[in-house]
Amino acid sequence: MRRIIAIVLAVFLIGGVAAAVVAGREDQDSSTATKTVRGVIGSEKAEFFADPDVVKALAAKGYTVETETSGSWAMEGLDLKGYDFAFPSSQAPAGELASKYHVRQPLPRPFYSPLVVVAHRSAAEVLAGNGLATLAGKGGDKGNGTLDMKAYLKAAEGDRTWQQLKGADKHGELSGTLFISSTDPTSSNSGALYLAAASYVADGGRVADGAAAVDRTAPLMRKLISVQGSQQTSTDAAFRDFVSGVGNPLVLVYESQVAALLAGGQGADDLVVLYPDTTANSDHTVVPLTAEGRALGELLGTDKELRGLAVRHGFRPQGAAAEFTAATDAHTTYLNQTLTGVRQVPVPASKVLHEMARRARD
């Protein structure tokens, strides 16, 4: 018992971001037919597991799921004894966890979401006018587009300011160094994936594989992070700030956050979603620690109702592109449903990415 308390506490101390949720507690009390499955999850999935419809769908399949949140990269530091599964938001930490706990491959990867940059229209248009982005639609009238990562990194390397870009002077808020806000890469997955994608581009299309590769891109990675000053520690908070109209005009978030906002019927005002032409996916990967954990992980990917609910929360189910497309048809203004023109890059091994993040924050 004592150990469990320690674990739970550690989860909160280390990376907990969204309020923790005990899903389906009532079912647990009232039904003897359900199995209680406990897991540590990335914060961006907390709302999914808290959704009463998800709780109901899981209960119908005989599961009560209790979750605690943790930063995906912090899970490696936890003692996961007593848990049935871990559910980080990226393959790399999942792989590390799998080898640490001798988990049989393949790991269930029920859904994924690409990293995107949310921008206000003014900023997106200035980027487009200066060859840093392309906007979709006739005359760029749509709420999505593509960010040219090579051009962006070149601008970052040269300390390009908004003032140096044509058309920025029409918008008072566009001044100072041009940069994308990310979360802290040492603790949060999206910040780390930002470095994964940027280093891939900066190193001529190579995935960093060791110290030499980290060295080659370290100055630029450091620049990308240090210009930002204080960073949010969770993607959730970064996105909320953007939606609130507070903060930098360019913010790195998960596509699932945007899609969930749109699915919830919230107004998007002058939002433009820029898909980096080279980006990293957040592959939500289940690391089963028990047979029940594996069964749940499989269920999330195979059960049609649960897949539908995942889509409602903005995630793209693996191997079921049509379901995401159908569900988001009303929001094609903002979403690039087929990810046309977007290349997904592999993420460096956990150890390498950690080192890259550490050097960038130094």
Partner 1 sequence: MNLSVGRRSAGRWGSPRASGAERGGGWAQTTHRAAAAIALAALTAGCTSAVEGPDPAEKPAAGTLRILASSELVDMKPVLDQVHKDTGITVRPTYIGTLDAVDLLAKGRAKDAYDAVWLSSNDYLRLDPAAAKQVVSQTPVMSSPLAIGVKDATVRKLGWKPEDVTWADIEKAVRDGGLTYGMTDPSRSNSGFSTLVSVASGLSDAQSALTDADVKEATPRLTDFFKGQKLTSGSSGWLAEAYDRRGDVDALLNYESVLKSRKDLTVIRPRDGVVTADYPLSSLASTSQQVREDVRRLTEALRAPGTQRLITDRTLRRPVVPSVPPAAGLDTTRRRELPFPGSRSVADGLLDAYENKLRRPSRTVYVLDTSGSMGEDGRLGRLKKALTALTGDFREREEVTLMPFGSAVKSVRTHVVRPEDPRSGLDAIRRDTRALSAEGDTAIYTSLQKAYEHLGADDDTFTSIVLMTDGENTEGASPAEFDGFYGRLSADERRIPVFPILFGDSDRGELEHIAELTGGRLFDAQKGSLDGAFKEIRGYQ
Using CB under 8 A, pick the residue from 232, 282, 337, 350 that binds partner 1. Answer: 232
Q: What is the 3-state secondary structure (H, E, C) of 50-119?
A: HCHHHHHHHHHCCEEEEEEECCHHHHHHCCCCCCCEEECCCHHHHHHHHHHCCCCCCCCCCEEEEEEEEE
Q: x/- contact string, 57-86, with partner 1 (CB under 8 A)?
A: ------------x-----------------
Residues paired with 134 in a beta bridge: 146
Q: x/- contact string, 298-337, with partner 1 (CB under 8 A)?
A: ----------------------------------------
CB of 247 to partner 1, least distance (A): 5
For the CA atoms of 79, 83, 86, 92, the dihedral, rounded to the nearest 10 degrees, stands at 40
CB of 229 to partner 1, least distance (A): 3
Nearer to partner 1, 142 or 171 (CB): 171
* 248 near partner 1, rule: CB under 8 A: yes
Helix axes 149-157, 211-226, angle to 10 degrees: 70
Q: Which stretch binds partner 1 (CB under 8 A): 81-89, 109-117, 125-133, 223-231?
A: 223-231
* 218 near partner 1, rule: CB under 8 A: no
Q: Which stretch binds partner 1 (CB under 8 A): 78-86, 94-102, 167-175, 323-331?
A: 167-175
Distance, in Å, from the CA atom of 146 to the CA atom of 299, rounded to the nearest integer, reads 34
Residues 3-22 within binding reach of partner 1 (CB under 8 A): 9, 12-14, 16-22
Using CB under 8 A, pick the residue from 56, 206, 240, 343 that binds partner 1. Answer: 240
Using CB under 8 A, pick the residue from 234, 256, 281, 282 that binds partner 1. Answer: 234
* 227 near partner 1, rule: CB under 8 A: yes
Using CB under 8 A, pick the residue from 241, 298, 305, 323 that binds partner 1. Answer: 241
* 267 near partner 1, rule: CB under 8 A: yes
Distance, in Å, from the CA atom of 124 to the CA atom of 118, rounded to the nearest integer, reads 9
The conformation of residue 347, written as its DSSP 8-state character, comes to P
Distance, in Å, from the CA atom of 285 to the CA atom of 95, rounded to the nearest integer, reads 9
The alpha helices in the chain, defined as continuous H runs, are 2-14, 25-30, 46-50, 52-60, 91-100, 121-129, 149-157, 189-202, 211-226, 235-243, 255-263, 291-302, 304-312, 321-327, 350-361
Using CB under 8 A, pick the residue from 77, 176, 210, 346 that binds partner 1. Answer: 176
Contact by Cβ (8 Å): 362, 347: no
Cβ-proximal residues to 33 (8 Å cutoff; 6+ apart), any chain: 62
Using CB under 8 A, pick the residue from 141, 169, 269, 329 that binds partner 1. Answer: 269
CB of 242 to partner 1, least distance (A): 10
CB atoms within 10 A of CB 337: 18
Rg (CA), the chain: 20
* 120 near partner 1, rule: CB under 8 A: yes
Contact by Cβ (8 Å): 121, 270: yes
CB of 220 to partner 1, least distance (A): 14
Token pair 């009532």 is found at: 26
* 167 near partner 1, rule: CB under 8 A: no
Nearer to partner 1, 7 or 349 (CB): 7
Using CB under 8 A, pick the residue from 63, 179, 200, 275 that binds partner 1. Answer: 179
Distance, in Å, from the CA atom of 243 to the CA atom of 267, rounded to the nearest integer, reads 10
Distance, in Å, from the CA atom of 187 to the CA atom of 354, rounded to the nearest integer, reads 9
Q: Which stretch binds partner 1 (CB under 8 A): 237-245, 305-313, 328-336, 350-358?
A: 237-245
Nearer to partner 1, 64 or 231 (CB): 231
CB atoms within 10 A of CB 135: 21
Which parts of this chain interact with partner 1 (CB under 8 A)?
9, 12-14, 16-22, 69, 120, 122, 159, 161, 171-177, 179, 226-234, 236-237, 240-241, 243-249, 266-269
